[in-house]
Each structure stands twice: as C-alpha cells, then as structure tokens.
A and B are shown apart, each in its own frame.
Chain A
Amino acid sequence: DTGVSQNPRHKITKRGQNVTFRCDPISEHNRLYWYRQTLGQGPEFLTYFQNEAQLEKSRLLSDRFSAERPKGSFSTLEIQRTEQGDSAMYLCASSLEKGLRSGQFFGPGTRLTVL
C-alpha cells in the first residue's frame, strides 16, 4: 500500500496523559499536514511541514500540542496533558507540491478518546 498511513488507528487514554501519533506520508511527497476532525464537522487545519520545516501552525494548536518531522519523512503529533476536548479524529495528509497544484491525500486517521 503506497498511501498515507497513520498509527495507531485508535487510542483511548485518561485525562492528563500524553499521547503520540505517527504519520507516514506517500514517499515522494514533500508536504505533510495535520488536521483534526470532530463529529459532524469538516477537518480543521492544525499544522503543516515542507520537508522537515514546520511552516504554519493554526491557533487550534495550543502549547500542549507539538509536531515534528525530523528527517522530512514521517511525522509525529504529540498531545501533552490530554483533555476531554482533545477527543477527535486526527488526520494526516501529504502532497507533492509543484506549483501549488497538487491535491492532498489523506490517511485513515487516528481516533483519540480521552476519558
């Protein structure tokens, strides 16, 4: 399978715990995006990387959230001191940006439940 992969697919945690999600983009894609989707809503942008550089962060990304893409390949999204409001589907997408015309391809998502 050469699509975007995300692990784990599901995560249940207790409030206050830290969690980390991983995204493996399509191999030749240089841009990687994180979105969050809550029930009944469209995905909301969190942050994106071009290669290893984090170029934009949404106001939704509080200081409890941190994302990395250390070698310009896979990325991790960490949430510290989770809150019940963090419960959502976390989606990763990647694209090969040539003249901004490429579409973004999404992974299956990681569903986080904070108890």
Chain B
Amino acid sequence: AQSVAQPEDQVNVAEGNPLTVKCTYSVSGNPYLFWYVQYPNRGLQFLLKYITGDNLVKGSYGFEAEFNKSQTSFHLKKPSALVSDSALYFCAVRDGNGDTGRRALTFGSGTRLQVQP
C-alpha cells in the first residue's frame, strides 16, 4: 500500500519570506513523487516530480522540492513567496516498480498556502 501525509492543513507565510510545505510518504518500491497545485475552480497543475537522480528537484514558478530517502520526505520549498502562490498544494506518490507498482497516484489531503502581503 502507498500513502502520503501532509501534516499541515494550512501554512501562512509573509510575502518575500521562504516557504516550506511538508510531505512524507510510504511506498513499497522506489517512490515516484509529485507536487501539484490547485487554484479555485481550476484543475490540478503539475509543479514538479522526483523520479531518480539529484535529490533537489526544480519545478515551475520557482518551486523546488527535496527528496530525503531516510526521512521518507519530499518537502516543497520556495525561497521567496508571492501572494499569487496562495493555493492548495497536493503531494502525490506512486510506486516506481515497473512490474507491480500501481500506476495511479496516491494523494495527500492537501495543504492550503496563504501568503500575506
């Protein structure tokens, strides 16, 4: 079974400050990890993914995420938050095992990011 935990329902940060949105995961095989963002009345937009290689992954809109295998974490980060970053963020995982891994993504419950001006 695979699962994702996003321990914070909401993260508040002032514009210009760094932000971190936390995610931990559980998967039996090699993890493929994803971050998506959802704006009101919009579909999920892909931000970034970790498949293999460098533990620091860079994505869209200045976001990055750090894969930590020992802590089974994949926290989303941005050096300087913008008011327009305010949205709902979802972490997702799938099992990278080519033969038995589930193809579908398992999502966390989401973290609402509120960036104050």
Contact = CB atoms under 8 A, between A and B. Distances in A.
A91 B109 contact: no
A43 B90 contact: yes
B103 A31 contact: yes
B34 A43 contact: no
Contacts of B14: none
Contacts of B101: 100
A104 B51 contact: no
Interface string A20-46: 000000000001010100001111110
> Taking each of A42, A43, A91, A100, which has the highest tally of chain B beta carbons within 10 Å of its own beta carbon?
A42
Interface stretch (A69-77, A78-86, A105-113): A105-113
Contact of B104 (A41, A42, A56, A99): A56
B109 A41 contact: yes
Interface residues of B, number: 27
A24 to B, nearest CB: 13
B105 A108 contact: no
A100 B98 contact: yes
A101 interface: yes
Q: Interface of chain A, helix or strand or loop or mixed?
A: loop
How large, as a class, is the contact surface on chain A?
20 to 34
A65 to B, nearest CB: 15
Interface of B: 4, 32, 34, 36, 41-46, 49, 51, 90, 92, 94, 96, 98, 101-110
B51 A101 contact: yes
Contacts of A42: 4, 90, 92, 107-110
B105 A104 contact: yes
B102 A56 contact: yes
Contact of A103 (B46, B96, B104, B109): B46
A31 B106 CA distance: 16
Contacts of B90: 42-43
